[in-house]
Each structure stands twice: as C-alpha cells, then as structure tokens.
C-alpha cells in the first residue's frame, strides 16, 4: 500500500500541488503581519488614513520599503489604498488595533517569537535539546506578562464554549493548576454562581492574572496562589481540578505523577478536567496537535502531545473512574477529558 494512501492523510487527500506550495510559502505572509504588528503599524494609521511618506516617518522606515510593505498588507486585506493614502479595513480595526477588545496583537507577537525556534528546528532535531523552555522564559517578568496576555487572548475566544460543555452547577471549589491568566476559571465562575476558584501558577504570571480577575470583578470568588505544581504540594479538598494546556508541557513520567497528586488532593467526590490536544494512537492526527508537538519539542524539555490511551492510563493508574473524552468541535482545537474519583 502506498504510504500516502490513507483517507485521513492530510497531504494526500486535502492538498493539491498548488495548495502545498502555498503552505511552503506561508511564512512570507506570516512574517509581513508579524513585522507590521511589532511596529504597531495598525495603531499608527488614524481613522482618516495616512499617506505612505508620513507613515514611513512615524515608523522610522524608508519611504519606498514602507509603501511596499503597505501594498502587501492591502493585498492581504488588512489595509485599503486610495492613491497614496492607506487606511484600515474593518477587520484590522477589530483585530489589529490595540484598543479593540478583540485585539490579536499579543498572540501575533508570541507567534513571531516562536518563529525563532522554528528557524533552529534542525538543531533541536540533532541535539534533542530545546532552544529554550517555557518554564525558564516565563520567569522573566516582561515575557511572562506578554505570554499570559497571549493566553488570555486565545482563551477568551474559546472559554464560553468550553464552559457550556461542563456541568459544574453543584460544584463549589475549583483549583486551576497552571491556570495562567485564569480565563477558564473566570468563565466557569461567571456561568456557575456557586463556584469559587483558586488559580495556581508562578508569581511572574499571577501578577498579570490578578489584574485580569479585577477587570471581571471576580476578586471575591477567585484567588491566586503562587505555586510550582511540579515541585510543591497541591492544596486539598477541592471539588474540581482543571489542567488546561498543561500536560503537553511535561513528559510522561511528570504527567503521571501530577495526575496522582491531583487525585490525592481532590475531595472524595472530586473531578479532574483536562483540556489539551489529544492525538490518535499513531500520534499523527489531528493535524493541529501533530504540528503543536513540534512546538513542544522546541520549547520544553520533555513535552509533547499525547494520545487518549496514554492520558487514560495515567488517570486509571491514579484511581480515576468514568473517564470521558469530548472531541474538538470548531472553534475548539483541543479535546476535553474528565474523570471522577467515585
């Protein structure tokens, strides 16, 4: 059988030659957007627009190259052009202007930073070592702030659907382990009036988390606890434990130990919720998860994406029962797995 004959194979079944080459060239479009966002180009252009010479002065670019960049952004649908004037499109106003509630700039800047790792992918493949680890770089206060805001951008879009999939109406205490910006805890508390949450993470992260919680006026129901879940004991007697986008950071042994710690910390009728990319047994699908595993190769010591069977084995080993997976449905790209102590 031809190795590319599988009906599930992305390259064989979902791409023509032209589409494949567009994928290979995709870095050009991404890099144009990265640079425009880095220099706050979309914030610089006022409502009435700006000519290319004025824009180049404000950005400290040369006039000719600046116009070439803006022409490309017009082609990408992110700017409009009338003679020598450039103005924002409705899309760029909503997603690329920093004062918009739907601003994607933190995510774009994060992806731009990640490109550095992908440039050095061959080195990681040869040495087996990451370029740098998420654990080390989030100890940097400035990076931790940007990274946490990036995660909040992503989670704000996904958390309403996430919350609808769970019935926590009778739950009172949730512990959000490595909860980052606390976005999922915030949404769960908004949707479940009886619920209180504790977010565990590093101090550099929680300094941002506290500000986000205040924005949602939930300081009376959500508290932050500085803690390293990989080293420190997890507080006991919570009804629900949430591990959202955590297990892909860690290796198999660390995840097995963490899930056992969670089991021991939960109340006797407690529940664990895991949100993460979940792959098939061959670790090749879905595409998003298989590609994300490369990012973990570049930015963690032992992290990767796991199959349901692997996660199920950790849960069984810890003592959890009634293990259930809810597969991704747009816009979610990650699975939900939940299990009970009873």
Whether 70 contacts 79, CB under 8 Å? yes
Q: What is the pLDDT of residue 117?
A: 86
The count of structural domains within the chain is 2
Q: What is the pLDDT of residue 331?
A: 81
Cα 111–Cα 114–Cα 120 angle in degrees, nearest 5: 150
The ranges of the chain with pLDDT < 50 are 1-8
* Predicted confidence (pLDDT) per residue in 137-188, tens digit: 777 788 889 899 999 999 999 999 999 999 999 999 999 999 999 999 999 9
Does residue 312 lie within any of the structural domains? yes
CA separation for the pair 62, 46 (Å, rounded): 20
Q: Retrieve residue 327's tokens.
A: 């597969």
Does residue 5 lie within any of the structural domains? no
Task: Label the pairing between strands 222-226 and 196-201.
Answer: parallel
Could you say which of 64, 97, 130 is where a domain stops? Answer: 97
Q: Retrieve residue 248's tokens.
A: 């892909």
144 and 259: one domain? yes
Q: What is the CATH number of the domain that holds 80?
A: 1.10.10.10
Q: What is the pLDDT of residue 9?
A: 54
Does residue 112 lie within any of the structural domains? no
Does residue 110 lie within any of the structural domains? no
**CA nearest neighbour of 178 among 237, 243, 248:** 243
Does residue 113 lie within any of the structural domains? no
Does residue 297 lie within any of the structural domains? yes
CA separation for the pair 327, 308 (Å, rounded): 10
Q: What is the pLDDT of residue 3?
A: 35
Enclosing domain of residue 24: 10-97
Task: Label the pairing between strands 196-201 and 85-88.
Answer: unpaired
Does residue 239 lie within any of the structural domains? yes
Q: What is the CATH number of the domain that holds 307?
A: 3.40.50.150
Q: What is the pLDDT of residue 126?
A: 96
23 and 125: one domain? no
């Amino acid at each position: 059988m031809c190795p590319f004959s599988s009906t599930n194979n992305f390259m064989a079944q979902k791409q023509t030659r032209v589409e494949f080459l567009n994928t290979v060239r995709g870095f050009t479009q991404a890099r144009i957007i990265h640079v425009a966002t880095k220099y706050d180009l979309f914030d610089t252009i006022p409502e009435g627009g700006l000519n290319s010479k004025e824009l180049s002065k404000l950005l400290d670019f040369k006039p000719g190259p600046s116009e070439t960049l803006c022409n490309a952004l017009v082609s990408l649908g992110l700017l409009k052009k009338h003679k020598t004037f450039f103005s924002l499109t409705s899309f760029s106003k909503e997603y690329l202007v920093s004062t918009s509630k739907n601003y994607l700039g933190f995510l774009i800047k994060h992806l731009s930073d990640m490109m550095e790792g992908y440039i050095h992918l061959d080195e990681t493949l040869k040495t087996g070592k990451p370029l740098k680890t998420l654990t080390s770089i989030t100890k940097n206060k400035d990076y931790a702030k940007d990274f946490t805001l990036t995660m909040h951008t992503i989670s704000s879009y996904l958390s309403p659907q996430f919350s609808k999939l769970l019935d926590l109406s009778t739950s009172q205490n949730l512990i959000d382990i490595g909860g980052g910006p606390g976005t999922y805890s915030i949404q769960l508390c908004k949707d479940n009036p009886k619920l209180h949450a504790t977010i565990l993470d590093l101090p550099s992260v929680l300094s941002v988390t506290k500000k986000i919680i205040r924005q949602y006026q939930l300081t009376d129901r959500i508290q932050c606890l500085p803690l390293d879940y990989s080293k420190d004991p997890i507080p006991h007697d919570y009804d629900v434990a949430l591990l959202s986008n955590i297990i892909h950071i860690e290796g198999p042994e660390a995840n097995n130990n963490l899930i056992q710690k969670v089991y021991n910390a939960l109340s006797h009728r407690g529940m664990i919720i895991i949100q993460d990319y979940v792959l098939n047994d061959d670790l090749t699908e879905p595409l998003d998860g298989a590609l994300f595993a490369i990012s973990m190769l570049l930015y963690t010591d032992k992290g990767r994406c796991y199959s349901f069977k692997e996660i199920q084995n950790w849960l069984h080993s810890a003592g959890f029962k009634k293990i259930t997976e809810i597969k991704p449905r747009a816009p979610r790209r990650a699975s939900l797995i939940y299990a009970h102590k009873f």
